[in-house]
């Protein structure tokens, strides 16, 4: 592979709603509009400067024509728009696609937005008629908890990793969330024992190892590198990206240990011309503890199967040697559907702009962001930095 060119784009605006456990009287389109309004305001640009729009799929509310529906709702007339549908990797997948569209000359300033409602007692189910619905669900395997439990069990049986090892990840997420007043677990720290004492939902996964679904939204404004200094904040540049899909259903995963992140992360670092050792923040997708475990191993921070002993040797707060998910991660912050994946990008921008208040990482210059969709199926990684 020849030397990869660094992309020429930057994040100049972010908007994020404070997660709420259950929403009432709001719509997904409404949450999208509020997220976008906040992001444009943060960028210090006018609405009419937006000529690109990336949105997520909307289960239940707008099954088709999603970009047109969102554009109409917002009064935008984008010259580039699309749905990005990569589950938890959607947010990260949007950022490089926005830059790619700008580099292709299709637009100059792109809004990437994800949001969802969460109404009490109402599950957003999609009426699937696809292979996972036909060949996994009938055996009693509905939902992501089962799939991630299968992956965690495999790690434990293969490598001898322990429940305490995984609980440490949830503990750090909750601990970091105590410095983020927007986090859904703010004021609710959890010790390793608390995690282990929380109910087993799908053995070996405990309740506190699983993200809490919330309502919320997030939007990010991306523009060209040459325009990036126009905004009201220091630009945060995209330095590298990597992405890969390997399967949909966990039963069809080509490997239960080697997730597609093991391609996406090194690829993003190579494009940035940096190593994982250069990263000041690990903003690692964490729908479940086991995803963080596998991501740390896929990033080459420790040998396969060794995350537990590695974690015991390091510290993961903003003032630690490996700041990890300083906003609390989704385990601490809450998962507003696909916007949960965007929270890792929003936090990286806060840190790289040096506006993270009590949880600011000293001299933060580079961040690694990962996204993970389905069951370690859809992977995206980004390297963000304060200069090109």
Partner 1 sequence: MIEKFENLTVPGPTITPITKPFWDAVARKEFILQKCCDCGEWVFYPRSHCPHCWSDQLEWKPASGEGTLKTWSIVHRPGHPGWAEVTPYVLGIVELEEGPSMLTHLLVDSDQKLKIGQPLKVKYIKCNDVWLPFFESKE
The residues of the shown chain that bind partner 1, judged by CB under 8 A, are 128-131, 133-146, 149-154, 157-158, 199-205, 249-253, 256
Give the nearer residue to partner 1 in terms of CB position, either 149 or 386.
Answer: 149
**Shortest gap between Cβ of 279 and partner 1 (angstroms)?**
31
CA–CA gap between residue 186 and residue 188 (Å, rounded): 5
Q: Which residues contact 123 (CB under 8 A, 6 or more apart)?
A: none
**Shortest gap between Cβ of 204 and partner 1 (angstroms)?**
7
**Shortest gap between Cβ of 19 and partner 1 (angstroms)?**
22
Q: Which residues contact 326 (CB under 8 A, 6 or more apart)?
A: 176, 179, 180, 281, 283, 317, 318, 347, 351, 356, 359, 361
**Shortest gap between Cβ of 305 and partner 1 (angstroms)?**
13
Rg (Cα) of the chain, in Å, rounded? 19
Give the nearer residue to partner 1 in terms of CB position, either 3 or 125.
Answer: 125
- Residue 210 CA: distances (Å) to CA of 4, 174, 184, 256: 37, 12, 13, 19
H, E, C per residue of 308-327: HHHHHCCCCCCCCCCCECCC
Give the nearer residue to partner 1 in terms of CB position, either 140 or 187.
Answer: 140
Which residues is 236 bridged to in the sheet? Answer: 11
Longest dimension (CA), the chain: 56
Burial degree of 69 (CB within 10 A; 0-12, 13-18, 19+): middle
CB atoms within 10 A of CB 107: 20
Token look-up 């020849």 returns 2
CA–CA gap between residue 250 and residue 363 (Å, rounded): 40
- Output the six-digit token pair for 47: 């609405």
**Shortest gap between Cβ of 105 and partner 1 (angstroms)?**
35
**Shortest gap between Cβ of 198 and partner 1 (angstroms)?**
12
Give the nearer residue to partner 1 in terms of CB position, either 3 or 129.
Answer: 129
Give the nearer residue to partner 1 in terms of CB position, either 14 or 149.
Answer: 149
Which residues is 288 bridged to in the sheet? Answer: 210
Give the nearer residue to partner 1 in terms of CB position, either 101 or 150.
Answer: 150
CA–CA gap between residue 115 and residue 338 (Å, rounded): 7
**Shortest gap between Cβ of 201 and partner 1 (angstroms)?**
5
- Output the six-digit token pair for 191: 């010790």
- Output the six-digit token pair for 51: 């000529």
CA–CA gap between residue 299 and residue 269 (Å, rounded): 10
Give the nearer residue to partner 1 in terms of CB position, either 105 or 143.
Answer: 143
In 125-170, the DSSP E strands lie at: none
Give the nearer residue to partner 1 in terms of CB position, either 62 or 118.
Answer: 118
Query: Residue 191: phi, psi to the nearest 5?
Result: -80, 170
**Shortest gap between Cβ of 144 and partner 1 (angstroms)?**
8
**Shortest gap between Cβ of 256 and partner 1 (angstroms)?**
6
Give the nearer residue to partner 1 in terms of CB position, either 130 or 229.
Answer: 130
């Amino acid at each position: 592979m020849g030397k990869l060119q660094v992309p020429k784009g930057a994040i100049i605006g972010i908007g994020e709603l404070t997660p709420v456990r259950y929403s009432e009287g709001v719509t997904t389109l409404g949450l999208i509009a509020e997220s976008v309004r906040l992001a444009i305001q943060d960028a210090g640009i006018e609405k009419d400067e937006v000529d690109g729009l990336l949105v997520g799929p909307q289960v239940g509310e707008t099954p088709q024509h999603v970009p047109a529906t969102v554009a109409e709702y917002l009064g935008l007339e984008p010259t580039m728009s699309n749905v990005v549908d990569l589950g938890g990797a959607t947010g990260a997948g949007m950022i490089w696609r926005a830059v790619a569209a700008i580099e292709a000359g299709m637009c100059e300033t792109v809004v990437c937005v994800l949001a969802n409602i969460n109404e009490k007692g109402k599950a957003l189910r999609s009426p699937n008629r696809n292979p996972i619905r036909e060949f996994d669900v009938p055996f009693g395997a509905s939902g992501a908890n089962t799939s991630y439990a299968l992956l965690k069990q495999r790690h434990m049986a293969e490598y001898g990793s322990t429940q305490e090892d995984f609980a440490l990840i949830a503990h750090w997420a909750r601990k970091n969330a105590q410095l983020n007043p927007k986090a859904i677990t703010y004021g609710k720290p959890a010790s390793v024992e608390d995690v282990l004492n929380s109910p087993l939902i799908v053995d070996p996964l405990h309740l506190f190892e699983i993200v809490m679904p919330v309502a919320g939204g997030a939007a990010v404004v991306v523009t060209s590198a040459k325009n990036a200094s126009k905004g009201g904040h220091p630009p945060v540049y995209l330095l590298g990206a990597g992405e890969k899909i390997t399967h949909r259903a966990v039963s069809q995963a080509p490997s239960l240990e080697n997730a597609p992140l093991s391609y996406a992360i090194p690829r993003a670092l190579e494009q940035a011309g940096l190593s994982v050792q250069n990263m000041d923040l690990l903003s690692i997708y964490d729908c479940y503890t086991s995803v963080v475990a596998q991501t740390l191993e896929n990033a080459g921070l420790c040998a396969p199967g060794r995350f537990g002993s590695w974690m015991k040797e390091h510290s993961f707060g903003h003032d630690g040697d490996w700041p990890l998910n300083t906003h609390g991660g989704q385990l601490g912050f809450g998962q507003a559907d696909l916007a949960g994946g965007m929270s890792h990008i929003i936090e990286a921008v806060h840190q790289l702009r040096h506006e993270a208040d009590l949880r600011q990482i000293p001299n933060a210059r580079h961040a690694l962001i990962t996204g993970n969709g389905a069951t370690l199926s859809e992977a995206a990684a980004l390297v963000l930095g304060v200069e090109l």
